[in-house]
Amino acid sequence: MKKKYIPISLYIIIPFTLSGLSLLWVILTSRLIHSYDQSWSFILWGGTVVVLTYLISLLIIWVVLKPVVRFVKTAESLPVFPKQTEEDVKAKDDIERFTKVFDQITSILSKVEARELFPGIIGQSRIMRGLFTQIIKVSPTDSTVLILGESGTGKELVAASIYEHSLRKGKPFVVINCVAIPENLLESELFGHEKGAFTGAVAQKIGKFELATGGTIFLDEIGDMPLTTQAKLLRILQEKEFERVGGNRTIKVDVRFIIATNKNLPEMVRQGQFREDLYYRINVFSIELPPLRNRKEDIPYLVDYFLERNQKQVQISTQALQVITGYSWPGNVRELQNTIERAAVLTESGTIEPAHLPAHIASAMTIESSLYNQQTMDSLTVDDRLDEIEKGLIIEALARTGGVQVRAAELLGINQRSLWHRIKKHSIDTESLKNLQKM
């Protein structure tokens, strides 16, 4: 049996509450001062206080809420604001309506800010917006930043964004991939060398650290740096000085370090493969990039981004996008980009269909989905299992209705207000489901 919900206006409930409190105050003060009989004078006095309190509080509420109501109406009329039916609006009281509008506006503004400040990083999910906040906070400082994340998650893009928002923007930004340089040449590349320092050193060479003086140096894949080079790097981090290979002159440098790795550095420290003192020296401010499987609501935006930059005019079908969204993407964004480019080459109709995707994606998606569901459900409590089932049903209903909550509530057999609370409880991004249907 459904509970009937009657919305009450703030213009009624607040003045009514204050009036009741004023009446209670009149009664209590009268009892404290003297015992009274219920004379007409007291009733008249109490009624006058209640009425005046109601009118004054109504006036105050009207003055305070007038700009808020005007803002809410303007916001709801904007094209970017999610459209709601008349029944949807009537089903909410003022507090719930205002809260939802403010939440929507905050979400829209944060997405706009993300697009404006980070045009090179595609992502509008909550986890990515949190990442952008971290970048904005650490960029203006000279603190060493350690970027952690799986291969293909965009560590170099994040490093470049930190540089672009730093006070050292416009000064050198030197990128060094520690795994791409042979071990016997790495020290020479980093520190430079003097003429005759080793066989083949026919001239003096300026190292990357000197070239980056005054700017920022990005050390990618530091987990692959040899232990001997790690010791010299530690000195630069601590003392801001070094010597070239084969030289004895101390060179002072002023650089800001951004460091990245896809390896588990604490585990490498335990195994003696990475210096413990260096790990603590570089782990000043760490940023962990989420794998693509943990931010699947960003996949439609990434697919759209890759298709816009394709030489062919290509679009993607809803079925193909659903397959792509369901895949776990162990290679992350890089693997997704390669898959989209491959599918765009294969399609002749101008529309990417599931048949244009690699066969292992659809098959792996089915296997991984069933294994994940079994392992996850086995480890959850009864309440957690019920929550997962409820979340799945809500997402399915929203996907079938293109994100329209009124229609989704009808499919689920619950009222729209209850659905809205459950969406907030499970942190379901309804906008991504709308976009999924449009593409």
Tens digits of residue pLDDT in 309-339:
888 889 998 888 888 888 889 999 999 999 9
pLDDT of 401-417, one tens digit each? 777 888 888 888 888 88
Would you say 290 and 332 are in contact if contact means Cβ atoms under 8 Å apart? no
Would you say 7 and 91 are in contact if contact means Cβ atoms under 8 Å apart? yes
Q: Where do the domains of the chain lie?
A: 10-85, 126-291, 293-438
Model pLDDT, residue 199: 74
Average pLDDT over residues 412-426: 83
Give residue 255's region: left, alpha or beta (phi > 0; psi -120 to 50). beta
Give yes or no for residue 372 having a pLDDT over 50: no
Would you say 234 and 192 are in contact if contact means Cβ atoms under 8 Å apart? no
Q: pLDDT category, 149, cuts 50, 70, 90?
A: very high
Q: pLDDT category, 264, cuts 50, 70, 90?
A: very high
CATH architecture of 126-291: 3-Layer(aba) Sandwich (3.40)
Give yes or no for residue 185 having a pLDDT over 70: yes
Average pLDDT over residues 376-387: 62
In angstroms, the CA 358 to CA 354 distance is 9
In angstroms, the CA 194 to CA 11 distance is 81
pLDDT of 20-33, one tens digit each? 666 666 665 565 45
Model pLDDT, residue 370: 46
Give yes or no for residue 301 having a pLDDT over 70: yes
In angstroms, the CA 283 to CA 265 distance is 10
- Decide yes or no: CATH 1.10.8.60 for domain 293-438: yes
Q: Which residue has the higher pLDDT, 104 or 206?
A: 206
In the Cβ-directed half-sphere of 373, how many Cα atoms lie within 13 Å?
A: 10
Cβ neighbours around 346 below 10 Å, total: 12
Would you say 262 and 221 are in contact if contact means Cβ atoms under 8 Å apart? yes
Residue with tokens 């040449």: 185
Write out the E strands in 262-306.
285-288
In angstroms, the CA 117 to CA 122 distance is 11
pLDDT of 133-143, one tens digit each? 899 999 999 99
- Closest listed residue to residue 192, CA positions, set 154, 243, 130, 227: 243
DSSP code at position 223: G
Would you say 174 and 181 are in contact if contact means Cβ atoms under 8 Å apart? no
Same fold, 126-291 and 293-438: no
Would the CA dihedral through 193, 195, 196, 202 be positive or negative? positive
Those residues whose C-beta lies under 8 Å from the C-beta of residue 24, and which sit 6 or more positions away, are none
In angstroms, the CA 51 to CA 22 distance is 10
Q: Is the pTM of this model over 0.85?
A: no
Residue 76 CB burial class (10 angstroms; 0-12, 13-18, ≥19): middle
Residues in a beta bridge with 145: 258, 285
Q: pLDDT category, 153, cuts 50, 70, 90?
A: very high
Dihedral (Cα; 198, 199, 202, 204), 10-degree rounding: -20
Would the CA dihedral through 148, 150, 151, 154 be positive or negative? negative
Q: What is the CA radius of gyration of the chain?
A: 31
Residue 312 CB burial class (10 angstroms; 0-12, 13-18, ≥19): exposed
Backbone angles phi, psi at 414, to 5 degrees: -125, 165
In angstroms, the CA 129 to CA 121 distance is 11
Q: pLDDT category, 101, cuts 50, 70, 90?
A: low
In angstroms, the CA 389 to CA 426 distance is 11
Residue with tokens 């700009």: 67
Q: Which residue has the higher pLDDT, 303 or 387?
A: 303
